[in-house]
A and B are shown apart, each in its own frame.
Chain A
């Protein structure tokens, strides 16, 4: 089997890891950022603490903690489940910070304007603020997604059969390390459409919002 054939089969798991954990982050980042911006002090502090702690611990330690730690003492998880939970939790913290950057770019007067129009703050958030947050957060979210694609390689350390895991196995059995170059190239190639798609979505959103 050629080195390329050996690693290419891992592409699906790499994509699943990236897409699913990013999706978890996109959704779970919302309550985190709302808590982070809450007027309730305890909620704000708890969210800040959680975000800082999640980002303060290296991804590989998170995966080990979830797979070996929680898996050992609470419920045995599959390697893929553990990797998705771990990368998902990390994404949520990073996405919350990205959303926060988006919120910060919006002048407070927009909230005032919503209130003046008689909108409940929830509606102001949903129809005035959130669309703009999404637009401003998009470029940062896209580059985070590319980072996540690369970080998904860490799932190989707990045994998820993705690109790098296969590359390591191949290198070990054949003693040829060139396979890592091929693996690296695949990661780069995978990140290109992500960059292009994000640029396109960004442009479309801008056009729709008339900016």
Chain B
């Protein structure tokens, strides 16, 4: 039996391949989910209850569902309605849906956190409702929401590991494949953990740094 961590050099190229796919899935999920989340936030903030209430209901259900349940539902449920999705596509759809539901609340929280006085000042200056939102609430709200959105991006990156369960060849799948051949689970799984942490931990630092900087900036 070889010593612990002896295979790291050999495993790394294959794992980096998987890591690349994990990052790509993250990017695609955020690329689809963030705009949808933004629109959901606008609809949930609407004055018309016919628009806001159903949107809030959809968002609450979306946030209440475990990501893994959504993932398996999208992948295994597709054929029931005649759509056979590729595993990667199913993973992106599921994570994008999750992103939309969660980030809509982050966006909405940002809009709500803009001080009332700013809105009143804009209206007093004669800006219309639309212009007030477009030029005052929106930029300020997005600034406030930024750390939360960055934090969510890290959650989504970590969430790509769930796609292992439907056979997407991402980082964890590569590790599992290696371990099922050489049986050195501890060996390869610790390397995989380090690879995830190598992105998520500095990411968390960046979120904290952004939070501090935005907090210090004059409002």
Contacts and interface: CB of A to CB of B under 8 A. Distances in A.
B80 A177 contact: yes
B69 interface: yes
A153 B183 contact: no
Interface in B186-219: 186-187, 189-190, 192-193, 196-197, 200-201, 204
A42 interface: no
Given A55-B204, A167-B69, A183-B69, A60 B164 contact: yes
B69 A61 contact: no
Contact of B65 (A62, A65, A157, A188): A188
B133 interface: no
Interface stretch (A68-76, A105-113, A123-131, A202-210): A68-76
Contacts, number: 118
B141 to A, nearest CB: 22
B186 A154 contact: no
Interface in A125-159: 150-151, 153-154, 156-157
Given A65-B193, A168-B72, A178 B64 contact: no
A69 B184 CA distance: 8
Nearest to A192: B64
B162 A164 contact: no
A129 B66 CA distance: 35
A151 B155 CA distance: 12
A171 to B, nearest CB: 5
Interface in B62-82: 64-70, 72-73, 76-80
A147 B204 CA distance: 19
B179 interface: yes
Contacts of B66: 150-151, 153, 164, 184, 187
A64 interface: yes
Contacts of A64: 172, 176, 185, 189
Q: Which of A59, A65, A167 has the most chain B CB within a 10 Å cutoff?
A: A65
A153 B189 contact: no
B165 interface: yes
A61 B172 contact: yes
Interface residues of B, number: 37
Contacts of A61: 161, 172, 189, 192-193, 196
Interface in A172-189: 172, 175-178, 180-181, 183-184, 187-188
Interface string A42-84: 0000000000110111111110110011101100000000000
B80 A176 contact: yes
Nearest to A183: B69
Contact of B68 (A68, A69, A156): A156
A191 interface: yes
Secondary structure class of chain B's binding surface, majority of residues: helix
A82 B200 CA distance: 23
Q: Which of B66, B190, B193 has the most chain A CB within a 10 Å cutoff?
A: B66
Contacts of B27: none
Nearest to B179: A68
Contacts of A65: 185-186, 189-190, 193
Contacts of B204: 52, 55-56
Which 9 pairs of residues, A with B, have the shortest CB-CB distance? A177-B77, A56-B197, A180-B73, A69-B186, A150-B66, A56-B200, A58-B158, A68-B185, A188-B64
Interface of B: 61, 64-70, 72-73, 76-80, 158-159, 161-162, 164-165, 172, 176, 179, 183, 185-187, 189-190, 192-193, 196-197, 200-201, 204
14 contacts: A53-B201, A58-B172, A58-B196, A64-B172, A64-B189, A69-B185, A72-B183, A150-B67, A153-B66, A157-B164, A164-B66, A178-B77, A180-B73, A180-B77
Interface of A: 52-53, 55-62, 64-65, 68-70, 72-73, 150-151, 153-154, 156-157, 164, 167-168, 171-172, 175-178, 180-181, 183-184, 187-188, 191
